[in-house]
Amino acid sequence: MIDGRIIRLSTTSNGRTLAGMLQSTKQEPQQERRGNPAWVKGTSQNPRGKESRASRLARREAIIGRWTEPHGGVAALRPAELDLLHQAAELSLMRPRTVEDQVRVANTISKILAQVGFADKRRKREPPSAPDLRTYLAGLKTGETASPVATASPERETEPAETNGATGDA
């Protein structure tokens, strides 16, 4: 013992003696407290606990119901399509930790929905059809107030202008 410290000697497997680290006989008075200071010791930060299996299945079925509603509901699906939708719904309930995993999950869900026929990445959504000019004007004459849609419809009906073509007569 030197100045209140104990020198520890240790022996290696080949019989040599090594001088070890100096140890203090006194213990540090108080270690600093770790963690969030707002946390109360002994109180759970998740008072409801883990989500039950039944509530998770109910959430999954609700997601599938929302996806299938515009396409005739769950009854209109084949069993293989329903299994794919169950997988996609489970993926949507996941919480990916990294940005890469978020992209992977989103792409996988998109591919599954395309396989089932609910989303097609190759075909863009069709804009809402605007009434052609004749229908709009006919609605104004009869008193119906149909508001025109600002987007132009790709299937616009256009009639060629009345001209005599090659003769040039007016």
pLDDT for 13: 64
What's the pLDDT tens digit per position in 64-109?
999 998 888 899 889 999 999 999 999 999 999 999 999 999 999 9
Map residue 82 onto helix, strand or coil. Answer: helix
Tell me whether residue 111 is exposed, middle or buried, using C-beta atoms within 10 angstroms of its C-beta: 0 to 12, 13 to 18, 19 or more. middle
pLDDT for 156: 43
What is the identity of the amino acid at 128? P
Is pLDDT at 149 greater than 60 in this prediction?
Answer: no
Rounded Cα–Cα distance for residues 121 and 85 (Å): 17
Q: Who has greater pLDDT, 54 or 17?
A: 54
Mean predicted lDDT score pLDDT of the chain: 75
Rounded Cα–Cα distance for residues 94 and 92 (Å): 5
pLDDT for 2: 56
The answer, as to whether pTM is greater than 0.75, is no
Is pLDDT at 117 greater than 70 in this prediction?
Answer: yes
What is the identity of the amino acid at 109? I
Q: Who has greater pLDDT, 81 or 40?
A: 81
Structural domain boundaries of the chain? Answer: 53-116
What's the pLDDT tens digit per position in 41-72?
788 878 888 889 999 999 999 999 999 988 88
What are the DSSP calls for 97-141, one per residue? SSHHHHHHHHHHHHHHHHHHTS--SSSPPPPPPPPPHHHHHHHHH
pLDDT for 138: 81
Highest mean pLDDT among 10-24, 32-46, 102-116: 102-116
Tell me whether residue 160 is exposed, middle or buried, using C-beta atoms within 10 angstroms of its C-beta: 0 to 12, 13 to 18, 19 or more. exposed
